[in-house]
Structure 1
Amino acid sequence: MALKNMAATRRSSARRWSGLAVLMLPVLLVTVDNTVLGFALPKIAEALRPTASQQLWMIDAYSLVLAGLLVSMGSLGDRVGHRKLLLIGSFGFVVVSVLTAYSATSMQLIIGRACMGIFGAMLMPSTLALIRSVFEDREERRVAVAICATTLTVGSALGPLVGGVLLQFFDWGAIFLLAVPVLIPLLVLGPLLLPESERDVSGPLDPISILQSMVALGCIVYSIKHGASEGIDGVVFGTFLVGALAGWIFVRRQLRLPVPLMDMTLFSNGAFSGSVLINLMSLAFLVGFVFFTTQFLQIVLQMAPLSASLALVPGQIMAIMVGVAVVPVAQRMPVHVLIPILVAFTGAAFLLVASMGSSLAVLVVAFALLNIGVGAIATVSNDVQRPRRRQGRHPPSVKQPMKLAWCWVLL
């Protein structure tokens, strides 16, 4: 009997970790897709002849729609089931990616990127919520969250490498076809390995809150994007004010609803707010550095896509190693001591570029330093104790993994 119990336990453990491996596929794809397009822009510009504004929208359409829908999709997953939403999002992402790969005009590519953002918004909150359904043991869940955080960081760093390899041997459309081999295993194995999450039907799906969150996030992100490309003008102030007003109304509504779309009282907890803020900062540093470096290496230093991507490999290796290796360190060192040390590594990366210039050697070293800090921060900050839930205030998905999702909203 004991041997049977041990065998059953091993099978259950293998099933859980196999399920985690499947869950990491959409996390990896969404993060890679967020940075890979920057590497392909020179080839896309040659093929489709987009205007400068269209090039900007090719990148921004995806993140703008993703940010506007992420919270809404998390709430929808609470009600219909996160596994179901994950599979729907994966199927839609694959179909739209294939269609986008064969875009004949710049506008088709922009529309395709926007549609990818819709389905991408279904993937991230569902993935994070399902981690809690798969891992009930706290220690196992801690390791699973660490792996998820590391995958999030590694995916952003791998974007240039994947893009460089694909563009060296294939046309630019290959970067979108990447979704097919990544998500097909999820569609096949997901129903077998992943349990459905607990559904929360204690309240209706509030369309007013969904619209408010979309307007708030969409307008604020648009104002920032427009200001960066066109300069500070009336459009920037107007859209930002509309977004801020919609956000204020959204917060007031959530505080009054018995079952809100997002429990805003989470942010009254310092540990939760600090985790979101430090995650936001670290991911913003990483994505910004990757975009600058990929363009600089190809356009200024005239490097081939594959050569440019290989220059970033040392940093990507550091992200993988540090993201996992920091777990035992975090168990022995206080978070308020460890986090500033890790932030110092990210600051050193930018200081190195600012003081030594943008030569190839400097960029390689700086990217490695940046990934030491970001890779460890993503793991450590997401293991900070989550805030206690007020009874009846928010659904199961808005727990510790929601810190990662909120970074995607803000980023």
Structure 2
Amino acid sequence: MTATATPSPPRAGRREWTGLAVLVLPALLASMDLSILFMALPRITAELHPSATQQLWISDVYGFLLAGLLIPMGALGDRVGRRRLLLVGGALFGAASAVAAYVPTAEALIAARALLGAGGAVLAPSTLALIRTMFRDERQRGAAVGVWTAAFTGGIALGPILGGVLLEYFWWGSVFLINVPVMVLLLVLGPLLLPESADPRASRRFDLLSAALSMAAVLPVVYGVKELAAHGAAVLPVAAIAAGLALGAVFVRRQFTLPDPLIDVGLFRRGAFSASVGVSALLTFSLVGFGLQSAQYLQLVQGISPLPAALWQLPTAAGTVVGIALATQAVRRVPPGTIVGTGLLVAAGGFALLSLVRVDSSLLLVLGSYTVLTLGVGMAMALANAMVIGSAPPERAGAAAAVSETGAELGGALGIAVLGSVATAAYRSGVAGDIPPGLPPEAADAAGETLGGAVAVAEGLPGAAGDTLLEGARQAFTAGLDSLAVTGAAVLAVAAVAAFVALRGVTPVDDPDGPR
């Protein structure tokens, strides 16, 4: 008796590939908004006068809200329809972008960025989940996820570049306003090219308590980590982390008791799924955390205006694309765990090279090292995303995509908070001795908080006093950059070892019989 061959899944056609181009737009913008402010931050500092803490909140509140809402929004998309939620999120994201472009104060900008994060959380999970349902063939899905990953990780690298181009000709609010026409295009083309999909077995009842618990678990933890990194040990941030972890345990326990849980926590029993989510988070942590500092280094230490600084960073975006292409081709013969671990080691090497940067370093050293970092990120990230989506059943694609993107966005937000705080602490310590005595308290505080503040204060000081402050501030900022790079190299080196071990049983795509 011969076994019946399993029929091949249907292959995607022109409509699906055209629809993928539409899905790339929101993925690109959602990740760009993690980093597009990097180039604009010096001008925002000069106009809105945020403190160092407000600067970090302006940069990372977007990622925090995104991370806190992604899981409930992914589960909601599985129930009400992923395309429907994508379009609702696109409308909210576009409206929030228009508001952010014209805010008058630092506090208002923080609030607008939070609203942007909420809009991004509504639309983001549907992009990866729709790919899972549109591309049934594994090789086609791998290629599609590679394109999506190039858009997502490339958006992080392209954000500062686009920001620099816009700032050359327009005011800082243009870095938000650019989102509006793209969201309008999504709202027009989405209904024409994207299929509606949902979990047919999911209950229409949405567990609001689980949604609240997921947010209540994530937000206190990221707040506590941010405060510990910025100010050291204190009772309130430690209590916040403990409370968030306790609520996370309650959330997980509740998922086991529900007939239709918000997320299938059983997915984490799959080694490839858990390890891939962790890899994605750590890569985004490192890439976004360094990107904020590198944009300021080019403008405020090297003295390059936004447009040339943006153009200098083009090779870093190319590094991501090359890394993704290498990984996508190699995975047909090489175990994914080997490629992911190698990518992490390459990225760690890029960080190690960046730790050699000094105030007067050649731009070739700075950007060459950064390109090595993005090459490694592209190699590891493409396969991490493919393994997350491929290991989940199609009906849970939204929840799985949400978990993956939650890890990435949370990693990006924590990268800004933790690595940014490491660099800020080193800057404050290094610049303290170079602040001239007799400065007004406001000016002394501004110079001691941020490099942008020191540049503004130095411009108003006579001769040698201004030069001394500016040189000391640049030296202190670069020392902070070096501390950040050493931290990033250590984190990714440890992650590489863990990936080699955790993913050793995952087989190449061309091996149909190996374990997955």
TM-score normalised by the chain length of structure 2:
0.74
The answer as to 2:81 corresponding to 1:81 is: yes
- Could you say which residue in structure 1 is the equivalent of 2:129? 129
1:356 positional shift: 5.2
Instruction: Give the Cα–Cα distance (whole angstroms) in 1 for the partners of residues 308 and 288 of structure 2.
Output: 20
Q: In structure 1, the residue corresponding to 2:206 is in which secondary structure?
A: coil
- Could you say which residue in structure 1 is the equivalent of 2:52? 52
The answer to whether the 8 Å contact 2:80/2:204 transfers is: no
Judged with a 3 Å threshold, the aligned counterparts in structure 2 of structure 1 residues 207 and 410 are, in CA distance, closer, same or farther, namely: farther
1:405 positional shift: 4.5
1:249 positional shift: 0.8
The answer to whether the 8 Å contact 1:70/1:409 transfers is: no
The answer as to 2:384 corresponding to 1:381 is: yes
Instruction: Give the Cα–Cα distance (whole angstroms) in 1 for the partners of residues 215 and 102 of structure 2.
Output: 29
Instruction: Give the Cα–Cα distance (whole angstroms) in 1 for the partners of residues 35 and 159 of structure 2.
Output: 5
Summarize the alignment of residues 51-200 of structure 1 with structure 2, pairs less than 5 Å apart.
51-200=51-200
The aligned amino acid for 1:268 is R
1:203 positional shift: 5.7
- Could you say which residue in structure 1 is the equivalent of 2:271? 270
Aligned residues: percent identity?
39
- Could you say which residue in structure 2 is the equivalent of 1:229? 230
Single out whichever of 195-204 and 65-74 deviates more from structure 2.
195-204
The answer to whether the 8 Å contact 1:133/1:196 transfers is: no
| Counterpart selection for 2:372 from 361, 369, 388 | 369
Question: Over residues 167-226 of structure 1, what are the superposed CA-to-partner deviations in whole Å (9 max), with x where a residue is unaligned?
Answer: 111100000001112222111100000010124442621111111110110111111222
Single out whichever of 378-387 and 266-275 deviates more from structure 2.
378-387
1:349 positional shift: 0.7
The aligned amino acid for 2:136 is E
Instruction: Give the Cα–Cα distance (whole angstroms) in 2 for the partners of residues 157 and 410 of structure 1.
Output: 15
Judged with a 3 Å threshold, the aligned counterparts in structure 2 of structure 1 residues 290 and 106 are, in CA distance, closer, same or farther, namely: same
The aligned amino acid for 2:269 is S
The aligned amino acid for 1:395 is R
Question: Over residues 78-106 of structure 1, what are the superposed CA-to-partner deviations in whole Å (9 max), with x where a residue is unaligned?
Answer: 11111111111101111111111011122
List, as ranges, runs of 4+ consecutive aligned residues in structure 1 with deviation greater than 6 Å: none
- Could you say which residue in structure 1 is the equivalent of 2:262? 261
1:138 positional shift: 2.4
1:292 positional shift: 1.6
Question: Over residues 138-177 of structure 1, what are the superposed CA-to-partner deviations in whole Å (9 max), with x where a residue is unaligned?
Answer: 2221211111112111011101101111111110000000
Instruction: Give the Cα–Cα distance (whole angstroms) in 2 for the partners of residues 97 and 346 of structure 1.
Output: 32
The answer to whether the 8 Å contact 1:85/1:123 transfers is: yes
Single out whichever of 220-229 and 108-117 deviates more from structure 2.
220-229
The answer to whether the 8 Å contact 1:83/1:195 transfers is: yes
Q: In structure 2, the residue corresponding to 1:195 is in which secondary structure?
A: coil
Q: In structure 1, the residue corresponding to 2:121 is in which secondary structure?
A: helix
1:278 positional shift: 1.4
Instruction: Give the Cα–Cα distance (whole angstroms) in 1 for the partners of residues 396 and 321 of structure 2.
Output: 32
Instruction: Give the Cα–Cα distance (whole angstroms) in 2 for the partners of residues 253 and 214 of structure 1.
Output: 14
The answer to whether the 8 Å contact 2:80/2:198 transfers is: no
Instruction: Give the Cα–Cα distance (whole angstroms) in 2 for the partners of residues 52 and 187 of structure 1.
Output: 37
Judged with a 3 Å threshold, the aligned counterparts in structure 2 of structure 1 residues 409 and 70 are, in CA distance, closer, same or farther, namely: farther
Instruction: Give the Cα–Cα distance (whole angstroms) in 2 for the partners of residues 402 and 99 of structure 1.
Output: 29
The answer as to 2:23 corresponding to 1:23 is: yes
Judged with a 3 Å threshold, the aligned counterparts in structure 2 of structure 1 residues 410 and 268 are, in CA distance, closer, same or farther, namely: farther
The aligned amino acid for 2:173 is G
Instruction: Give the Cα–Cα distance (whole angstroms) in 2 for the partners of residues 155 and 329 of structure 1.
Output: 24
Question: Over residues 355-384 of structure 1, what are the superposed CA-to-partner deviations in whole Å (9 max), with x where a residue is unaligned?
Answer: 454622221111110111001111122333
Summarize the alignment of residues 280-319 of structure 1 with structure 2, pairs less than 5 Å apart.
280-319=281-320
Q: In structure 1, the residue corresponding to 2:321 is in which secondary structure?
A: helix
- Could you say which residue in structure 2 is the equivalent of 1:35? 35
Instruction: Give the Cα–Cα distance (whole angstroms) in 2 for the partners of residues 265 and 355 of structure 1.
Output: 44
How many residue pairs get matched? 399
The answer to whether the 8 Å contact 2:278/2:407 transfers is: no
The answer to whether the 8 Å contact 2:131/2:144 transfers is: yes
1:408 positional shift: 2.5
Instruction: Give the Cα–Cα distance (whole angstroms) in 1 for the partners of residues 140 and 128 of structure 2.
Output: 14
Single out whichever of 78-87 and 320-329 deviates more from structure 2.
320-329
1:281 positional shift: 1.5
The answer to whether the 8 Å contact 1:150/1:324 transfers is: no
1:264 positional shift: 1.3
1:230 positional shift: 2.8
The answer to whether the 8 Å contact 1:203/1:259 transfers is: no
Pairwise CA RMSD = 2.1
The answer to whether the 8 Å contact 1:382/1:401 transfers is: no
The answer to whether the 8 Å contact 1:314/1:368 transfers is: yes
Instruction: Give the Cα–Cα distance (whole angstroms) in 1 for the partners of residues 40 and 56 of structure 2.
Output: 13
The aligned amino acid for 1:228 is A
Ranges in structure 1 where 5+ consecutive residues have no aligned partner? 1-8
Judged with a 3 Å threshold, the aligned counterparts in structure 2 of structure 1 residues 91 and 151 are, in CA distance, closer, same or farther, namely: same
1:24 positional shift: 0.4
Instruction: Give the Cα–Cα distance (whole angstroms) in 2 for the partners of residues 74 and 124 of structure 1.
Output: 8
Single out whichever of 114-123 and 44-53 deviates more from structure 2.
44-53
Question: Over residues 230-258 of structure 1, what are the superposed CA-to-partner deviations in whole Å (9 max), with x where a residue is unaligned?
Answer: 33212210111111111111111112222
Instruction: Give the Cα–Cα distance (whole angstroms) in 1 for the partners of residues 184 and 204 of structure 2.
Output: 34
1:52 positional shift: 2.5
